[in-house]
Amino acid sequence: MIFSAARVFVPIVMALAVGGLILLALGKDPFAYYEYVVGRGLLSWSGFQQTVIRAAPLLLIASGLIIAFRAGIWNLGVDGQFLLAAVASAALAPVLILALPSWLTIIICCGVSIAVAMAWSVVPAFLKTRYGLNEIITTLMMTFLGISLANVLVKLPLNDPDNTVPQTMTLPVPDRLGRLFDTTIHSGIIISLIAVLAVHFVMTRTAFGLKLQIVGANPRAAKHAGLNVGRLTFATFAISAGLAGLGGAVEILGVWGTMRADWNPAYGLLVIPLVFLARFHGIAVIGFTLLFAILMIGGESASRRMGVPNFYVLVLVALLLIFLALVEYLDHLSRQRKKA
Protein backbone atom coordinates (compact mmCIF):
# COMPACT_ATOMS: atom_id res chain seq x y z
CA MET A 1 0.00 0.00 0.00
CA ILE A 2 2.82 2.37 0.92
CA PHE A 3 4.58 1.46 -2.28
CA SER A 4 1.59 2.07 -4.49
CA ALA A 5 1.10 5.47 -2.86
CA ALA A 6 4.75 6.25 -3.52
CA ARG A 7 4.38 5.17 -7.12
CA VAL A 8 1.65 7.74 -7.55
CA PHE A 9 2.99 10.65 -5.54
CA VAL A 10 6.67 10.49 -6.43
CA PRO A 11 6.00 11.28 -10.13
CA ILE A 12 3.64 14.12 -9.18
CA VAL A 13 6.19 15.68 -6.84
CA MET A 14 8.98 15.25 -9.37
CA ALA A 15 6.90 16.80 -12.16
CA LEU A 16 5.97 19.75 -9.94
CA ALA A 17 9.62 20.19 -8.97
CA VAL A 18 11.02 20.14 -12.51
CA GLY A 19 8.10 22.27 -13.69
CA GLY A 20 8.95 24.70 -10.89
CA LEU A 21 12.52 24.91 -12.14
CA ILE A 22 11.21 25.80 -15.59
CA LEU A 23 9.05 28.54 -14.06
CA LEU A 24 12.07 29.80 -12.16
CA ALA A 25 14.09 29.88 -15.39
CA LEU A 26 11.33 31.98 -16.96
CA GLY A 27 11.56 34.42 -14.08
CA LYS A 28 8.39 33.41 -12.24
CA ASP A 29 8.04 32.34 -8.62
CA PRO A 30 6.98 28.67 -8.68
CA PHE A 31 5.71 28.66 -5.09
CA ALA A 32 3.51 31.67 -5.72
CA TYR A 33 2.20 30.01 -8.88
CA TYR A 34 1.36 26.68 -7.25
CA GLU A 35 -0.12 28.44 -4.23
CA TYR A 36 -2.31 30.50 -6.51
CA VAL A 37 -3.39 27.46 -8.50
CA VAL A 38 -4.43 25.55 -5.39
CA GLY A 39 -6.04 28.59 -3.81
CA ARG A 40 -8.05 29.33 -6.92
CA GLY A 41 -8.84 25.82 -8.15
CA LEU A 42 -9.60 24.13 -4.83
CA LEU A 43 -9.89 26.44 -1.86
CA SER A 44 -12.20 29.14 -3.19
CA TRP A 45 -15.87 28.11 -3.40
CA SER A 46 -16.47 29.42 -6.92
CA GLY A 47 -13.19 27.92 -8.13
CA PHE A 48 -14.05 24.58 -6.59
CA GLN A 49 -17.41 24.53 -8.36
CA GLN A 50 -15.64 25.28 -11.64
CA THR A 51 -13.24 22.44 -10.95
CA VAL A 52 -16.07 19.97 -10.44
CA ILE A 53 -17.81 21.22 -13.60
CA ARG A 54 -14.59 20.75 -15.56
CA ALA A 55 -14.14 17.26 -14.17
CA ALA A 56 -17.39 16.02 -15.76
CA PRO A 57 -16.27 15.80 -19.43
CA LEU A 58 -12.78 14.69 -18.37
CA LEU A 59 -14.22 11.79 -16.39
CA LEU A 60 -16.40 10.67 -19.28
CA ILE A 61 -13.44 10.70 -21.66
CA ALA A 62 -11.34 8.89 -19.06
CA SER A 63 -13.92 6.17 -18.56
CA GLY A 64 -13.97 5.54 -22.31
CA LEU A 65 -10.19 5.40 -22.40
CA ILE A 66 -10.07 2.92 -19.51
CA ILE A 67 -12.12 0.46 -21.53
CA ALA A 68 -10.08 1.03 -24.69
CA PHE A 69 -6.68 0.78 -23.03
CA ARG A 70 -7.64 -2.26 -20.99
CA ALA A 71 -8.69 -3.93 -24.24
CA GLY A 72 -5.32 -2.97 -25.73
CA ILE A 73 -6.80 -0.44 -28.13
CA TRP A 74 -5.10 2.91 -28.38
CA ASN A 75 -7.99 5.20 -29.16
CA LEU A 76 -6.08 8.48 -29.42
CA GLY A 77 -8.87 10.08 -31.43
CA VAL A 78 -11.15 11.11 -28.58
CA ASP A 79 -10.83 14.80 -29.37
CA GLY A 80 -12.46 14.45 -32.76
CA GLN A 81 -15.15 12.20 -31.33
CA PHE A 82 -15.75 14.64 -28.48
CA LEU A 83 -16.01 17.70 -30.75
CA LEU A 84 -18.29 16.18 -33.37
CA ALA A 85 -20.59 14.94 -30.62
CA ALA A 86 -20.56 18.43 -29.14
CA VAL A 87 -21.54 19.85 -32.54
CA ALA A 88 -24.42 17.39 -32.75
CA SER A 89 -25.79 18.46 -29.37
CA ALA A 90 -25.25 22.15 -30.07
CA ALA A 91 -27.07 21.85 -33.39
CA LEU A 92 -30.02 19.81 -32.11
CA ALA A 93 -30.76 21.18 -28.67
CA PRO A 94 -31.82 24.76 -29.57
CA VAL A 95 -34.17 23.39 -32.25
CA LEU A 96 -35.66 20.50 -30.28
CA ILE A 97 -36.34 22.67 -27.26
CA LEU A 98 -38.91 24.63 -29.29
CA ALA A 99 -41.11 21.53 -29.54
CA LEU A 100 -40.09 19.20 -26.72
CA PRO A 101 -39.72 19.44 -22.95
CA SER A 102 -36.16 20.03 -21.80
CA TRP A 103 -35.63 16.56 -20.26
CA LEU A 104 -36.54 14.87 -23.53
CA THR A 105 -34.35 17.30 -25.50
CA ILE A 106 -31.38 16.47 -23.30
CA ILE A 107 -31.92 12.73 -23.60
CA ILE A 108 -32.24 12.88 -27.40
CA CYS A 109 -29.17 15.12 -27.70
CA CYS A 110 -27.08 12.80 -25.56
CA GLY A 111 -28.21 9.82 -27.62
CA VAL A 112 -27.42 11.48 -30.95
CA SER A 113 -24.06 12.71 -29.68
CA ILE A 114 -23.12 9.22 -28.57
CA ALA A 115 -24.16 7.83 -31.96
CA VAL A 116 -22.15 10.47 -33.86
CA ALA A 117 -19.02 9.77 -31.83
CA MET A 118 -19.46 6.04 -32.32
CA ALA A 119 -19.84 6.52 -36.06
CA TRP A 120 -16.58 8.46 -36.10
CA SER A 121 -14.78 5.43 -34.65
CA VAL A 122 -16.02 2.97 -37.26
CA VAL A 123 -13.23 3.59 -39.78
CA PRO A 124 -10.34 2.94 -37.37
CA ALA A 125 -12.17 -0.09 -36.00
CA PHE A 126 -12.69 -1.44 -39.49
CA LEU A 127 -9.08 -0.86 -40.55
CA LYS A 128 -7.85 -2.50 -37.37
CA THR A 129 -9.99 -5.63 -37.57
CA ARG A 130 -9.78 -6.06 -41.33
CA TYR A 131 -6.16 -5.17 -42.09
CA GLY A 132 -4.58 -5.04 -38.65
CA LEU A 133 -3.74 -1.37 -39.16
CA ASN A 134 -2.32 0.42 -36.17
CA GLU A 135 -5.19 2.38 -34.61
CA ILE A 136 -2.88 5.06 -33.20
CA ILE A 137 -2.37 6.44 -36.68
CA THR A 138 -5.93 6.05 -37.89
CA THR A 139 -7.56 7.52 -34.80
CA LEU A 140 -5.17 10.48 -34.89
CA MET A 141 -6.01 11.10 -38.55
CA MET A 142 -9.73 10.86 -37.79
CA THR A 143 -9.32 13.30 -34.94
CA PHE A 144 -7.66 15.93 -37.12
CA LEU A 145 -10.34 15.39 -39.71
CA GLY A 146 -13.04 15.64 -37.05
CA ILE A 147 -11.69 18.88 -35.58
CA SER A 148 -11.75 20.55 -39.00
CA LEU A 149 -15.14 19.08 -39.85
CA ALA A 150 -16.58 20.40 -36.59
CA ASN A 151 -15.30 23.87 -37.49
CA VAL A 152 -16.73 23.68 -40.99
CA LEU A 153 -20.12 22.63 -39.64
CA VAL A 154 -20.22 25.42 -37.09
CA LYS A 155 -19.04 28.09 -39.51
CA LEU A 156 -21.21 27.18 -42.49
CA PRO A 157 -24.46 25.19 -42.18
CA LEU A 158 -25.02 25.61 -38.44
CA ASN A 159 -23.90 29.20 -38.07
CA ASP A 160 -26.38 31.38 -36.22
CA PRO A 161 -26.55 34.62 -38.26
CA ASP A 162 -27.66 36.61 -35.19
CA ASN A 163 -24.15 36.39 -33.75
CA THR A 164 -21.06 38.22 -34.89
CA VAL A 165 -18.79 35.35 -33.82
CA PRO A 166 -19.48 32.16 -35.78
CA GLN A 167 -21.35 29.85 -33.43
CA THR A 168 -24.46 27.66 -33.34
CA MET A 169 -27.80 28.75 -31.93
CA THR A 170 -27.92 28.87 -28.14
CA LEU A 171 -29.83 26.63 -25.75
CA PRO A 172 -31.42 28.95 -23.14
CA VAL A 173 -29.90 28.63 -19.68
CA PRO A 174 -33.01 27.28 -17.88
CA ASP A 175 -33.23 24.39 -20.36
CA ARG A 176 -29.67 23.17 -19.79
CA LEU A 177 -28.66 20.28 -17.55
CA GLY A 178 -30.11 20.81 -14.07
CA ARG A 179 -28.00 22.37 -11.33
CA LEU A 180 -27.22 20.52 -8.15
CA PHE A 181 -28.80 22.13 -5.08
CA ASP A 182 -27.75 25.78 -4.77
CA THR A 183 -24.52 25.44 -6.70
CA THR A 184 -23.52 26.24 -10.27
CA ILE A 185 -22.45 22.62 -10.73
CA HIS A 186 -24.58 20.87 -13.35
CA SER A 187 -25.80 17.30 -13.09
CA GLY A 188 -23.30 16.16 -15.74
CA ILE A 189 -20.92 15.32 -12.92
CA ILE A 190 -23.45 12.74 -11.67
CA ILE A 191 -23.65 11.20 -15.16
CA SER A 192 -19.88 11.02 -15.40
CA LEU A 193 -19.45 9.51 -11.94
CA ILE A 194 -22.03 6.86 -12.81
CA ALA A 195 -20.19 6.20 -16.09
CA VAL A 196 -16.83 5.74 -14.37
CA LEU A 197 -18.25 3.44 -11.74
CA ALA A 198 -20.16 1.45 -14.35
CA VAL A 199 -17.02 1.07 -16.46
CA HIS A 200 -15.08 -0.04 -13.43
CA PHE A 201 -17.76 -2.57 -12.55
CA VAL A 202 -18.01 -3.91 -16.11
CA MET A 203 -14.27 -4.29 -16.48
CA THR A 204 -13.65 -5.97 -13.14
CA ARG A 205 -16.85 -7.91 -12.42
CA THR A 206 -18.43 -9.05 -15.69
CA ALA A 207 -17.69 -11.62 -18.37
CA PHE A 208 -17.68 -8.93 -21.04
CA GLY A 209 -15.00 -7.03 -19.17
CA LEU A 210 -12.93 -10.15 -18.76
CA LYS A 211 -13.17 -10.86 -22.48
CA LEU A 212 -11.92 -7.36 -23.26
CA GLN A 213 -9.05 -7.78 -20.82
CA ILE A 214 -8.05 -11.03 -22.53
CA VAL A 215 -8.11 -9.38 -25.94
CA GLY A 216 -5.98 -6.60 -24.52
CA ALA A 217 -3.47 -8.92 -22.89
CA ASN A 218 -3.05 -11.26 -25.84
CA PRO A 219 -5.25 -11.03 -28.94
CA ARG A 220 -3.90 -14.29 -30.33
CA ALA A 221 -4.71 -16.21 -27.18
CA ALA A 222 -8.14 -14.60 -27.21
CA LYS A 223 -8.74 -15.90 -30.70
CA HIS A 224 -7.66 -19.39 -29.66
CA ALA A 225 -9.99 -19.20 -26.70
CA GLY A 226 -12.84 -18.75 -29.20
CA LEU A 227 -13.48 -15.07 -28.63
CA ASN A 228 -14.71 -13.00 -31.56
CA VAL A 229 -11.85 -10.51 -31.45
CA GLY A 230 -13.19 -8.47 -34.36
CA ARG A 231 -16.57 -7.91 -32.78
CA LEU A 232 -15.01 -7.10 -29.41
CA THR A 233 -12.71 -4.59 -31.10
CA PHE A 234 -15.67 -2.85 -32.72
CA ALA A 235 -17.50 -2.85 -29.39
CA THR A 236 -14.50 -1.37 -27.61
CA PHE A 237 -14.12 1.41 -30.15
CA ALA A 238 -17.84 2.13 -30.01
CA ILE A 239 -18.03 2.28 -26.22
CA SER A 240 -14.93 4.38 -25.78
CA ALA A 241 -15.95 6.81 -28.51
CA GLY A 242 -19.53 6.87 -27.23
CA LEU A 243 -18.39 7.88 -23.74
CA ALA A 244 -16.19 10.63 -25.20
CA GLY A 245 -19.23 11.73 -27.21
CA LEU A 246 -21.36 11.84 -24.08
CA GLY A 247 -18.63 14.04 -22.62
CA GLY A 248 -19.06 16.44 -25.53
CA ALA A 249 -22.83 16.47 -25.07
CA VAL A 250 -22.55 17.12 -21.33
CA GLU A 251 -20.11 19.98 -21.87
CA ILE A 252 -22.44 21.67 -24.37
CA LEU A 253 -25.75 20.94 -22.59
CA GLY A 254 -24.35 21.73 -19.14
CA VAL A 255 -21.90 24.59 -19.63
CA TRP A 256 -21.95 26.41 -22.94
CA GLY A 257 -25.38 25.85 -24.52
CA THR A 258 -23.79 26.66 -27.88
CA MET A 259 -20.71 25.70 -29.84
CA ARG A 260 -18.31 28.34 -31.06
CA ALA A 261 -16.10 27.92 -34.10
CA ASP A 262 -12.51 26.95 -33.33
CA TRP A 263 -13.49 25.74 -29.86
CA ASN A 264 -11.28 22.77 -29.11
CA PRO A 265 -10.33 22.21 -25.48
CA ALA A 266 -8.18 19.20 -26.54
CA TYR A 267 -9.10 17.26 -23.40
CA GLY A 268 -8.33 13.97 -25.10
CA LEU A 269 -4.54 13.96 -25.15
CA LEU A 270 -4.49 15.45 -21.66
CA VAL A 271 -6.68 12.79 -20.12
CA ILE A 272 -4.51 9.96 -21.47
CA PRO A 273 -1.75 10.53 -18.88
CA LEU A 274 -4.35 10.56 -16.10
CA VAL A 275 -5.66 7.21 -17.20
CA PHE A 276 -2.13 5.82 -17.18
CA LEU A 277 -1.41 7.38 -13.81
CA ALA A 278 -4.50 5.63 -12.46
CA ARG A 279 -3.27 2.41 -14.07
CA PHE A 280 -6.61 2.05 -15.87
CA HIS A 281 -8.36 1.89 -12.50
CA GLY A 282 -11.83 3.45 -12.43
CA ILE A 283 -11.84 4.66 -8.83
CA ALA A 284 -8.32 6.02 -8.92
CA VAL A 285 -9.03 7.98 -12.07
CA ILE A 286 -11.66 10.04 -10.23
CA GLY A 287 -9.02 11.36 -7.85
CA PHE A 288 -6.57 12.17 -10.61
CA THR A 289 -9.19 13.88 -12.71
CA LEU A 290 -10.14 16.13 -9.82
CA LEU A 291 -6.47 16.92 -9.25
CA PHE A 292 -6.03 17.73 -12.91
CA ALA A 293 -9.19 19.83 -13.02
CA ILE A 294 -7.82 21.90 -10.12
CA LEU A 295 -4.61 22.39 -12.10
CA MET A 296 -6.55 23.44 -15.20
CA ILE A 297 -8.94 25.84 -13.51
CA GLY A 298 -6.24 27.27 -11.26
CA GLY A 299 -3.84 27.45 -14.19
CA GLU A 300 -6.33 29.28 -16.39
CA SER A 301 -6.84 31.90 -13.76
CA ALA A 302 -3.13 32.06 -12.95
CA SER A 303 -2.37 32.66 -16.61
CA ARG A 304 -4.42 35.85 -16.46
CA ARG A 305 -3.18 36.94 -13.05
CA MET A 306 0.47 35.88 -13.07
CA GLY A 307 1.41 36.04 -16.75
CA VAL A 308 2.21 32.34 -17.04
CA PRO A 309 0.39 31.14 -20.18
CA ASN A 310 -1.75 28.07 -19.80
CA PHE A 311 0.64 26.17 -22.06
CA TYR A 312 2.59 25.58 -18.88
CA VAL A 313 -0.02 22.99 -17.88
CA LEU A 314 0.93 21.02 -21.02
CA VAL A 315 4.55 20.97 -19.91
CA LEU A 316 3.51 19.76 -16.47
CA VAL A 317 1.43 16.96 -17.98
CA ALA A 318 4.35 15.85 -20.16
CA LEU A 319 6.70 15.82 -17.17
CA LEU A 320 4.13 13.87 -15.20
CA LEU A 321 3.92 11.23 -17.93
CA ILE A 322 7.68 10.87 -18.18
CA PHE A 323 8.25 10.60 -14.45
CA LEU A 324 5.35 8.22 -14.12
CA ALA A 325 6.85 5.92 -16.71
CA LEU A 326 10.26 6.27 -15.07
CA VAL A 327 8.98 5.34 -11.62
CA GLU A 328 7.10 2.42 -13.14
CA TYR A 329 10.32 1.29 -14.80
CA LEU A 330 12.38 1.54 -11.59
CA ASP A 331 9.68 -0.35 -9.73
CA HIS A 332 9.72 -3.08 -12.36
CA LEU A 333 13.51 -3.24 -12.12
CA SER A 334 13.59 -3.60 -8.36
CA ARG A 335 10.95 -6.34 -8.48
CA GLN A 336 12.98 -8.23 -11.06
CA ARG A 337 16.06 -7.93 -8.88
CA LYS A 338 14.13 -9.35 -5.94
CA LYS A 339 13.09 -12.29 -8.08
CA ALA A 340 16.65 -12.99 -9.21
Partner 1 sequence: MGGLLTEAFIASLLFGAVTVGIPLLLAGLGEQISEKSGVLNIGIEGMMLMGAYGGFVAAYYTESFWLGFIAGGILGTVVASLMVLFCVLLSMNQIVIGIALTIGAEGLTALLHHFQFSRTYPRMPEVPILDIPGLQNIPVIGPAFFERHPLVYLSVLLVVFVSWMFRRTQIGLNLQAAGDKPAALDAAGVDVKLTRACAVLTTGFLAGLGGAFMANVGAGLFVPHMTHGAGFIGIVLAMLARGKPVWVLLGAALFGASLALTTALQVAGLNIPTDVVQMLPFAMVIVVLILFARHSYLPPALGLPYHRGER
Among 71, 91, 140, 296, binds partner 1 (CB under 8 A): 140
Q: Does 85 bind partner 1 (CB under 8 A)?
A: no
Would you say 144 or 208 has its CB closer to partner 1? 144
The region of 176-184, 230-238, 293-301, 305-313 touching partner 1 under the rule CB under 8 A is: 305-313
Q: Does 315 bind partner 1 (CB under 8 A)?
A: yes
79 SS3 class: helix
Q: Does 74 bind partner 1 (CB under 8 A)?
A: yes
What are the distances in angstroms from CA 48 to CA 23, 32, 268, 286? 25, 19, 22, 15
Among 155, 179, 260, 279, binds partner 1 (CB under 8 A): 155
Would you say 100 or 149 has its CB closer to partner 1? 149
Under a CB-based contact definition with an 8 Å cutoff, are residues 83 and 247 in contact? no
Kindly report the number of other CB atoms within 10 A of residue 104's CB atom: 12
Rg (CA), the chain: 21
Q: Does 193 bind partner 1 (CB under 8 A)?
A: no
Q: Does 214 bind partner 1 (CB under 8 A)?
A: no
186 SS3 class: strand
Name the minimum Å distance from CB 31 to partner 1: 19
Residue 284 phi, psi (nearest 5): -65, -35
Q: Does 104 bind partner 1 (CB under 8 A)?
A: no
Would you say 14 or 22 has its CB closer to partner 1? 22
Q: Does 130 bind partner 1 (CB under 8 A)?
A: yes
- Inter-helix orientation angle 122-131/102-120, to 10°: 30
The secondary structure of residue 87, as a DSSP letter, is H
In the Cβ-directed half-sphere of 208, how many Cα atoms lie within 13 Å? 12
CB contact set of 216 (below 8 Å; sequence gap of 6+):
69, 70, 71, 72, 73
Q: Does 313 bind partner 1 (CB under 8 A)?
A: yes
Q: Which residues bind partner 1 (CB under 8 A)?
A: 22, 26-27, 74, 76, 123, 126-127, 130-131, 133-134, 136-138, 140-142, 144-145, 148-149, 151-152, 155-156, 269-270, 272-273, 276, 309, 311-319, 321-322, 324-326, 328-329
